[in-house]
Amino acid sequence: MEKRGAFYETTGALRDMVQNHALQLLCAIGMEPPINSHADAIRDEKLKVLRSLKPWTPETLAQDVIRGQYGAGAIGGAAVAAYRDELGVNPASQTETFVALRTEISNWRWAGVPFYIRTGKRLAGRDARIVVNFRPTPHAIFNSQIGMANRLVINLQPKDGLELHLMAQGAAQHQTEPALSQVHLNLDFDQRFGTERVGAYERLLLDVIAGRLNLFVRSDEQEEAWRWVEPIMEFWRNDPSGPRPYAAGTWGPSAASAMIAREGHCWNEEC
């Protein structure tokens, strides 16, 4: 406990998760197809995404970046102490344990499409996923009482696999026109591939031994990632309000939900 608290006091969620892990996932989703499967071809495309991230302004830093710090709560029926009560943590700590933000990739393919990133400690669930919400059709030709658009869910942790949520035509006989209802397609990698698969860290070690660099970050990628993150850190240093409190065992500060709701969207557990 003391080691974790001391580590987070000098790091925080932004540097621990957003600058590296979350931005790498954003690049994987937003990059153009590489010319081949070589490491540098892949990293060239990821670099283009990082260089295309919309620059921060004082207005977007205030509205589109939410930081939080967990207070006392309960997870799985067990009481959880507040972050400031953890061993090794300053009782007046301003370190963030939660970050939610909105950004855009300013290029021809993605201009105007919001990308939302959220990460935190002591949340209601321990999972990692990418959710791609497809645009709704501009004109509905089928009867549907459900407004949810089609979406692709890429599960990363604790299980990994793919889910496809679609609106499909039903066969209700009492309706005079075709109706749409939700269908769910699920690919669980453990069930499908079983013992053929290797763990994430095992794969990294095998790549190191084989000299494969596809999953490793190049120095210019690191520089661009830090270039984009540094304005957030500078803004927080000059912001006396500090991180927003949230109870352990919840999904973070309510401001994170309000941020995404401004454009008519919601986090996965709220939809």
Please give the pLDDT value at position 175: 58
| DSSP string over 115-168 | EEEEEESSBS---EEEEEEPPPPSS--SB-S--PPPEEEEEEESS-EEEEEEEE
**Residue 183 φ/ψ, nearest 5 degrees:** -125, 155
* Of 21, 139, 165, 174, catalytic: 21
Rounded Cα gap, residues 216 and 39, in angstroms = 8
Number of independent structural domains in the chain: 1
Q: What CATH code is carried by the domain that includes residue 73? A: 3.30.360.10
Terminus-to-terminus CA distance in the chain, angstroms? 34
Rounded Cα gap, residues 129 and 160, in angstroms = 9
What is the per-residue pLDDT across 219-247, written as a single tens digit (0 to 9) for each?
Answer: 999 999 999 999 999 999 999 999 999 99
Domain that holds residue 131: 2-270
Q: 100: buried, middle or exposed (CB in 10 Å: 19+, 13-18, 0-12)?
A: buried
| DSSP string over 69-129 | EEESEEETTEEE--GGGSTTS-TT----SEEEEEE-B-STTTTT--EEEEEESSBS---EE
Please give the pLDDT value at position 191: 82
Residue ranges, the chain, pLDDT below 70: 1-6, 143-148, 170-178
What is the per-residue pLDDT across 12-48, written as a single tens digit (0 to 9) for each?
Answer: 999 999 999 999 999 999 999 999 999 999 999 999 9
Please give the pLDDT value at position 8: 85
Considering the entire predicted model, what is its pTM?
A: 0.89
List residues bridging with 118 in a β-sheet: 100
Decide if 21 is catalytic: yes
